[in-house]
Amino acid sequence: MNKNILLSLTVLVLFACGSGGDAVTATADGGGGETGGNTGGNTQVVPTKILTELFTSTTCGPCTAQNNTLDRYLDPTSSTYVSDIADKWIILRYHVWWPAAGDPYYDWNQNPVIVREGYYNVGYVPHAFTQGLTDSGSGASTWRTHARMVDTVTPNSPFDIDMNVSLDGYKLSGTVKVTAAGDVRNLGFKYYIAVSHDDSEYGAPNGQTVFHQVFIDFLNSDTSPEGIVTFGQALNLDAGESLTTNIDWTLNSNWPNDSGVSWDPSDLNILAFVQFDGGGVNNKKIYQVEEIDFGS
Q: Note the pLDDT of residue 102.
A: 97
Identify the pLDDT of residue 153. 87
- In which element (H, E) is residue 178 found? strand 171-180
At residue 124, the pLDDT reads: 98
What is residue 245's DSSP assignment? E
Rg, C-alpha atoms of the chain? 18
pLDDT at 101: 97
- Domain spans of the chain, in order of start: 24-29+40-293
How confident is the model at residue 26, as a pLDDT?
67
User: What secondary structure letter does DSSP report for 182?
Assistant: S
Mean pLDDT for 96-120 is 97
| CATH superfamily, region 24-29+40-293 | Immunoglobulins (2.60.40.10)
More confident residue, 149 or 33: 149
**What is the residue-averaged pLDDT of the chain?**
88
Residues of the chain above pLDDT 90, percent: 80
Burial of 164 (0-12, 13-18, 19+ CB in 10 A): middle
> Is 29 strand, coil or helix?
strand
* 281 pLDDT above the threshold of 60: yes
The arithmetic mean of pLDDT across residues 227-255, rounded, is 95
* Neighbouring C-alpha atoms within 13 Å toward the C-beta of 60: 25
- Confidence category of residue 296, pLDDT binned at 50, 70, 90: confident
DSSP-H helix ranges across 123-265: 140-153
- Tens-digit pLDDT profile for residues 208-221: 999 999 999 999 99
Phi-psi bin for 212: left (phi > 0), alpha (psi -120 to 50), beta? beta
Q: 3-class SS at 69? A: helix
Higher pLDDT, 18 or 153: 153
At 16 the pLDDT is 25
Q: Per-residue pLDDT averaged across 215-236, rounded?
A: 92
Query: pLDDT tens digits, residue range 124-156?
Result: 999 999 999 999 999 999 999 999 999 888 889
CA 56 from centroid of its chain's CA atoms:
13
> Which residues have a Cβ under 8 Å from the Cβ of 61 and sit 6 or more positions away?
1, 206, 207
Q: What is the DSSP string of 140-159?
A: HHHHHHHHHHHHHH--EESE
How confident is the model over 152-198, as pLDDT tens digits?
888 899 999 999 999 999 999 999 999 999 999 999 999 999 999 99
Task: Report the alpha-carbon distance of residue 275 to residue 118 in Å, rounded.
Answer: 16
Q: Which helix (H) or strand (E) holds 46?
A: strand 46-47
Q: Are the beta carbons of 256 and 17 closer than 8 angstroms?
A: no
Give φ, ψ of 180 to 5 degrees: -105, 140
Alpha carbons 285 and 290: distance in angstroms, whole number: 15
